[in-house]
A and B are shown apart, each in its own frame.
Chain A
Amino acid sequence: MDTTITMSAFDWAILLIYLGFIVWIGYYLKRFTHTDEDYFLAGRRNSMWVCGIAFMSANMGAMEVIGYTGQSVKYGLYAAHFYLIGAIPAMLFLGVFMMPFYYHSRIKSIPGYLNARFNQETRLLNAIMFVVNMVLVSGIALYLLALVLHTFLGWNWDLSIWLAALLVGLYITMSGLLSAMFTEIIQFFLIWASILLLPLLGFIDIGGPAQIGAHLSKAMTTLWSTSADPGANSMAVTWGGLLLGLGFAIGFGYWTTDFLIIQRAFSAKDLRSARMTPIIGSYFKLLLGAVIVSSGMIAIVLINEPASGFHLLVEGGKTNYDSVMPLLMKRYFPSGIIGIGVTALVAMFMAGTAGNMSAFNTVWTYDIYQSVINKDASQSRLLRVGRISTIVGILLAIMGAYIAKSMPTVIDYLQAIASMFLAPSVAVIMLGMFTKKITPKGGFWGLLTGVVFSVLFFVLQDAGTISTSLLVPGQTGNGASFMAANFWRAWWAWLVSAGVAVGVSFVTEAKSEEELKGYVKGTITQHDSYEQHLPWYQRTVFWASITLGICIIINLYFW
Chain B
Amino acid sequence: MSTEQNQMRPIWYFVGWILISIGGIVILSGIYNLFFELPNTSVMEGLHPNLWWGTILLIVGIIYAWKNKDIRNSQ
Contact = CB atoms under 8 A, between A and B. Distances in A.
Nearest to A204: B44
A193 interface: yes
26 contacts: A8-B38, A11-B40, A13-B25, A17-B25, A18-B18, A21-B18, A25-B14, A29-B8, A32-B8, A45-B75, A46-B75, A47-B75, A190-B18, A201-B47, A332-B49, A334-B49, A335-B29, A336-B28, A336-B38, A337-B26, A337-B42, A337-B49, A337-B50, A339-B22, A339-B25, A343-B22
Contacts of A190: 18, 22
Contacts of A193: 19, 22, 57
Contact of A332 (B22, B38, B42): B42
A483 B41 CA distance: 38
B26 to A, nearest CB: 5
Contacts of A11: 40
Interface of B: 1-2, 4-5, 8, 11, 14-15, 18-19, 21-22, 25-26, 28-30, 32-33, 38-45, 47, 49-50, 53-54, 57, 74-75
5 closest A-B pairs by beta carbon, nearest first, are: A336-B29, A335-B38, A6-B39, A10-B29, A334-B42
A332 B45 CA distance: 8
Interface residues of A, number: 45
A31 interface: yes
Contacts of A18: 18
Contacts of B5: 32, 34, 43
Contacts of B44: 201, 204-205, 332, 334
A338 B53 CA distance: 12
A186 interface: yes
B14 A186 contact: yes
| Interface majority SS (helix, strand, loop, mixed), chain A | helix
B16 to A, nearest CB: 10
A185 B68 CA distance: 15
Nearest to B9: A28
Contacts of B45: 334
Given A10-B38, A339-B22, 9 more contacts: A10-B25, A11-B40, A14-B26, A17-B18, A34-B5, A45-B75, A190-B18, A204-B44, A333-B42
B33 A336 contact: yes
